[in-house]
Amino acid sequence: MISWISGDLVESWQTNQKFFVLINCQGLGYEIQILESLFLKLKTNKLCNKNITLWIKHIKKEDSDLFFGFKSNDQKNFFIKILNIRGIGSQIGMGILNKFTITEVINAIKTQNRKLICTVPGIGQKMADRLILELKSKFINELQIDENTTHEEFPIMNNEINKMLEDLQLTLQSLNYTKKEINGILTIIKKDNELISKNDKNISFENLLKLAMNYLENDSSNIVR
């Protein structure tokens, strides 16, 4: 089994939406499919005849040997996890990594963003659902959320608003909403509310509480759990 290849880059080329390099490794020429981001970097930096190292996934078929190369072992391992999903082939796997980073895919799984995943060529609704379901189990550690932590992904740079949000959290706790529900609504308010994003000084605690209760009681399906 070939884990990685280190050799001189002879040439690189594109065929439709596939990207390839030819690497000379101890007198043997290896034709390897790579990601578009790496292809563009190699083209931009004009690295022909320079030594490069790629992590390799070797797929052996009856009539051919296919090599897929990645700049990091994490990319390679992620690609392998995708291939282990029923109905997902190598080109779908490369298409996912061509369009998104690993972190972006994990976030899409966490939020069950089927629409985003369906933007990859060749992926329809049913395949997106299967990807989310099966990758969720494969990335359980990355998807775990500490219920005791508050969401700081969208910080509010206003002490007065921060204080109102803390009071809002305590009020919702007193109303017996769960930590997941509270963290979810705080994320929605911080991310999506126009007044919050602009740090509007006229916003009040009463308005924030009304907004939160409106989401929790009438639009709970929008809460990130």
Q: Closest Cα partner for 82 from 60, 105, 61, 63? A: 105
**Residue 180 near residue 220 (C-beta atoms within 8 A):** no
Q: Residue 18: beta bridge partners?
A: 15
Do 89 and 137 belong to one domain? yes
Q: Containing domain of residue 217, as a range? A: 159-222
Do 78 and 43 belong to one domain? no
Answer yes or no: is 148 within a domain. no
Answer yes or no: is 126 within a domain. yes
Residue 167: its pLDDT value, please? 80
Residue 142: its pLDDT value, please? 53
Do 30 and 66 belong to one domain? yes
Residue 150: its pLDDT value, please? 41
pLDDT per position as a tens digit, 56-95 = 999 998 888 999 999 998 899 999 999 988 888 999 999 9
Do 124 and 163 belong to one domain? no
Whole-number Å distance between alpha carbons of 79 and 70: 9
Q: State which residues of the chain have pLDDT below 50.
A: 145-154, 156-157, 195, 198-199, 219-225
Q: From 70, 99, 115, give the residue that closes a domain.
A: 70
Residue 141: its pLDDT value, please? 55
Do 25 and 61 belong to one domain? yes
Residue 5: its pLDDT value, please? 93
Helix (H) / strand (E) element for 23: namely strand 18-25
Q: From 30, 48, 70, give the residue that closes a domain.
A: 70
**Residue 132 near residue 115 (C-beta atoms within 8 A):** no
